[in-house]
């Protein structure tokens, strides 16, 4: 199985008894997307989630924190008294609207946003925040949801968090621990064990994609918001892309979900600088890195359920773990 970006063979099965139990005609297909904060689900893999919901799969978004310490990134709401009074409540409402736009189910994991301390020297993380939790403690909460929802596939962040936000990095650690431990009652007692079959890391902000959008804006005689991004990423190694999911038909749902997070998304910001019609033409997919696979598959893929779909939908005889 691939771990942390390492090259691995995806064409070899690794099915044990618990895995086999997960394969046997256990439809519908189920995808769990684990994110650090409300709004992350809308900027990372949202169109893919909406696509699978439309195809009849069940999709559960898990938000590890409530986003309580998020800044107000939309200048229109900078002085809104309701937002200033209760950011946590506002973000709960935003998340409900985003989930409705995508058609996904949603659960809170219940941890407290760590914020993004900045400065030199770097200030400490606040007491009681998600990033300071013990990994096994936080993973136990996610394992409970995994055993309840029984996802065939999980998505999360790479070991760098996609970017080095402490909650994103913690989300990676917790998600990997839950993927590896949900079938292990010795490690995480309680509930019915369940083994997800594949684990992916979100892509989406690759240098190649940013360059394509940057060049398109310049060719149209417009200013690009991506120049600084490209400069920052010039010395950063690119992550592997194993799976490109065609999902352009669901960019409208993605955009509606983004806009639902009104405190976090500026309607005039970089997410919307390239017109949707042009995005469909230039980059009609969302990208993922295959981190673990317990079923035979080969890359490149165009489906997160590759290697899983025919097993789950095939109605094979179910075995118990």
**66 C-beta neighbours (distance < 10 Å), count:** 22
Fill in the DSSP letter of residue 10. Answer: S
Strands 58-65 and 30-35: parallel
Cβ–Cβ under 8 Å, residues 28 and 57: yes
37 among annotated binding-site residues: yes
Cβ–Cβ under 8 Å, residues 251 and 288: no
CA atoms within 13 A on the CB side of 163: 9
10 among annotated binding-site residues: no
Tell me the Cα Rg of the chain: 20
Cβ–Cβ under 8 Å, residues 52 and 59: yes
CA atoms within 13 A on the CB side of 203: 23
Cβ–Cβ under 8 Å, residues 253 and 50: yes
Q: Which of 10, 72, 67, 21 is nearest to 194 (CA)?
A: 21
φ/ψ bin of 32: left (φ > 0), alpha (ψ from -120 to 50), beta (otherwise): beta
40 among annotated binding-site residues: yes
Annotated binding site: 37, 40, 168
Annotated binding site for Zn(2+): 37, 40, 168
């Amino acid at each position: 199985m691939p771990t942390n970006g390492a090259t691995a063979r995806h064409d070899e099965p690794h099915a044990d008894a618990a895995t086999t139990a997960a394969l046997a005609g256990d439809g519908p297909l189920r995808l769990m997307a684990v994110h650090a904060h409300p709004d992350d689900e809308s900027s990372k893999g949202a169109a893919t989630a909406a696509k699978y919901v439309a195809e009849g799969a069940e999709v559960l978004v898990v938000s590890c924190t409530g986003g309580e310490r998020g800044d107000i990134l939309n200048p229109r709401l900078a002085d809104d008294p309701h937002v200033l009074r209760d950011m946590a409540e506002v973000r709960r409402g935003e998340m409900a609207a985003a989930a409705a736009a995508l058609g996904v189910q949603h659960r809170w994991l219940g941890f407290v946003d760590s914020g993004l301390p900045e400065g030199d020297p770097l200030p400490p993380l606040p007491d009681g925040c998600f990033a300071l939790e013990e990994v096994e403690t936080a993973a136990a909460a996610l394992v409970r949801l995994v055993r309840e929802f029984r996802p065939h596939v999980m998505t999360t962040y790479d070991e760098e968090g996609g970017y080095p936000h402490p909650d994103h990095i913690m989300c990676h650690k917790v998600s990997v621990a839950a993927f590896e431990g949900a079938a292990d009652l010795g490690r995480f007692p309680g509930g019915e064990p369940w083994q997800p079959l594949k684990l992916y890391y979100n892509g989406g902000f690759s240098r190649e994609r940013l360059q394509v959008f940057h060049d398109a804006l310049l060719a149209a005689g417009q200013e690009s918001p991506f120049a600084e991004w490209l400069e920052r990423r010039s010395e950063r190694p690119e992550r592997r892309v194993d799976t490109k999911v065609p999902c352009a038909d669901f960019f409208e749902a993605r955009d509606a979900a983004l806009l639902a997070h009104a405190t976090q998304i500026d309607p005039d910001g970089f997410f919307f600088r390239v017109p949707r019609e042009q995005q469909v033409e230039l980059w009609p997919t969302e990208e993922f890195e295959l981190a673990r696979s317990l079923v035979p598959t080969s890359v490149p893929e165009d489906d997160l359920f590759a290697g899983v779909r025919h097993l789950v939908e095939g109605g094979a005889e179910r075995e118990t773990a």
